[in-house]
Chain A
Amino acid sequence: MTTNDVVVEKRSLRSASLREAPVGTTGWFREWQLALPLALAFAALFVAPLLLLAAVSFYNDEKLSQPGFGSWLKFFGDPFNYKVMADTLLLGAKTVCATVLIGYPLALVYLDLSPRLQKVLLFVIVMPLLLSVVVRTFAWIVMLGREGVVNSVLIGLGVISEPLKLLQTELGLVIALTQIEMPLMLLPLISVMSRLDPNLRDASAALGASRWRTLFTVILPLSMPGLVAGCLLVFASSTTAFISQTVIGGVRLIYLPLVIWQQALAVYHWPLAAVASLALVVSVLSVVAALSWLGRRSGGYVHG
């Protein structure tokens, strides 16, 4: 018996014990414990602030001296706030419609491109995502002004004779948000669509379906998970896009993020700001939850 044999035996013993506990290693150490530092950081920096925000909403006054439901009653007793909430959710819905209307065709075109052109198009789509929202918002001020590019082009083409007022209108804001949020629609769409079996489209065409019919009966149902994911991201992002809403929408178009900002940093009424921001979270996340439920249902219908 040489020392070599002993080493081999030791090794096989070790690997056997490893196989019994595949996630962990030796002694007290388990692999999942590596997540503990992040869990602690999130508890202190994420969970605690949000719980405190919820607690602060149950005070009646700015000085946080009288606990009660006063701020909730005040916020939901004011019809103006209902209009602001409805406008905010509608803005999200309009942006989602606009991004689907032009984003979905772009994803279809992406599928038909050569791998090389696909790379270029993907780069073009992702690029704005890495560009500051402030820069993209600023770009739309240049585009949408009275003497801006959009008006010049439309007048040049003879579509309109008088410049349209686009800045400080909801139409202008939706146009700008369509560009700003477009990558969030396209990335999940392209991700799902490029995994579709190309044979399905060919089979549909070979069986005599027109390209429209193939789109609506084959591609659209199968790409539903990507479409729903894109809609969720665009909706959640556009309803809370504070900078774009205030800079392009101006002071007359009021959405929930502006109300939160005003209450927190201009009026210093934290309880009201807390109520408004919880109203934003709940209303946006309930639409998101409803959409993803619908998405799962439609997905189940297609595959079932």
Chain B
Amino acid sequence: MRDMGRRQSLADISYGLVIGGLALLAVTIIVAPVVIVLMTSFTEGQTIKFPPKGFSLAWYEVLFDASKSRQIHRTAGNSLEIACFSTLFGVVLGTLASLGLARNRSRLARAADSFFMSPLVLPGITYGLAALVYFSLLGFRPSLDLMIAGHLVVTLPFILRTTTASLSQLDPALLDSSQSLGASWLYTLRRVTLPLIAPGIAAGAFLAFMASIDNVPVSLFLSNARTDTLPIRMWGMMESTLDVRVAAVSGVLITAAFVLMLVMEWTVGLTRRMRD
């Protein structure tokens, strides 16, 4: 009996060591690159090295200098414009579709729902190429409008997923009582449904916005020298010379993502929605 007890504790110790060690490695691999890029962006030197030489904001000054970094500012503006408009259209179309389909149990409605989610599984580069071929053969010239259309398709699933999830958690009794008290469909929507699903819509809009800012495959094919986005520009800077400004841009993006995520976590419980 005692012998068995000792064997068990040995097994438990090995379990703790192996599982704990691998989990620690996982956390290190997740966190270390982010921290190290942040640190290298404050270097005084002309090259990207770790540990960085000294501490200065020199590269951030170059980055925010309107004349020295005009290209970066222009592409960042493009990225923001595309992300804002594609998210805006996505929220309208996605919320409407979600209201129409979320509580509909028919086979057709389920199929439509998976169809609207499918851009998530389709390789982005295939859709990017398809969009390029389609718009070119239709005679469109590259423009921000086309980029907005392309980003709308690939970011819509994020909005649909969180909105549908919050609609299906909605107590149907609330809607029934609103309607049996004489409220019209539109009044119920405005005063009951929308306020209750607003956090879900906001979480989805945030994820879609970030996915658009981050998107490479669609932008890669639909942009030209005038309409390129920040990620495409950064890719170019990484492929040619390793400009330390890439580290500074990364620093700004890391900070922005961190702050936005904290705000979304406090207001709508973002991570809980992503886990469930």
Whether A126 and B270, one on each chain, are in contact in the complex, defined by CB atoms closer than 8 angstroms, is yes
Kindly state whether residue B174 has any CB partner on chain A within 8 Å.
Answer: no
Task: For B180, give the chain A residue with the smallest CB separation.
Answer: A15
Main secondary structure of the interface of A (DSSP, over half): helix
**Shortest Cβ distance from B13 into chain A, in angstroms?**
10
Q: Which of A71-79, A196-204, A257-265 contacts B (4 or more CB under 8 A)?
A: A257-265
Chain A neighbourhood of B16, CB < 8 A:
211
Whether A277 and B115, one on each chain, are in contact in the complex, defined by CB atoms closer than 8 angstroms, is no
Whether B130 and A142, one on each chain, are in contact in the complex, defined by CB atoms closer than 8 angstroms, is no
Whether B253 and A132, one on each chain, are in contact in the complex, defined by CB atoms closer than 8 angstroms, is yes
Q: Which of A35, A50, A140, A194 has the most chain B CB within a 10 Å cutoff?
A: A35
Task: For A48, give the chain B residue with the smallest CB separation.
Answer: B134
- Give how many B residues have a beta carbon under 8 Å from the other chain's beta carbons: 102
Whether A108 and B19, one on each chain, are in contact in the complex, defined by CB atoms closer than 8 angstroms, is yes
Contact with B along A137-163 (1 / 0, CB 8 A): 111111100011100100000000000
Q: Which of B55-63, B65-73, B234-242 contacts A (4 or more CB under 8 A)?
A: B234-242
Chain A neighbourhood of B50, CB < 8 A:
142-143, 147-149, 152
Chain A neighbourhood of B156, CB < 8 A:
38
Chain A neighbourhood of B4, CB < 8 A:
208
Kindly state whether residue A182 has any CB partner on chain B within 8 Å.
Answer: yes
Kindly state whether residue A37 has any CB partner on chain B within 8 Å.
Answer: yes
Whether B36 and A123, one on each chain, are in contact in the complex, defined by CB atoms closer than 8 angstroms, is no
Chain A neighbourhood of B20, CB < 8 A:
105, 109
Chain B neighbourhood of A175, CB < 8 A:
29
Chain B neighbourhood of A130, CB < 8 A:
207, 210, 214, 257, 260-261
- CB within 8 A of B275: which of A34, A108, A122? A122
Whether B231 and A132, one on each chain, are in contact in the complex, defined by CB atoms closer than 8 angstroms, is yes
Whether A32 and B123, one on each chain, are in contact in the complex, defined by CB atoms closer than 8 angstroms, is no
Whether A242 and B261, one on each chain, are in contact in the complex, defined by CB atoms closer than 8 angstroms, is no
Chain A neighbourhood of B97, CB < 8 A:
34-35, 37-39
Q: A48-B134, A139-B33, A211-B16 are in contact. List 10 more A-B contacts (CB 8 A).
A: A23-B103, A102-B23, A102-B26, A132-B213, A134-B216, A136-B34, A142-B40, A149-B36, A261-B125, A281-B122
Q: List 26 A-B contacts (CB under 8 A).
A: A23-B104, A34-B97, A50-B127, A50-B130, A102-B23, A105-B18, A127-B258, A130-B261, A131-B257, A136-B34, A141-B238, A142-B37, A143-B50, A147-B49, A175-B29, A182-B26, A210-B15, A215-B19, A243-B216, A243-B231, A260-B125, A260-B126, A270-B133, A274-B133, A280-B126, A288-B121
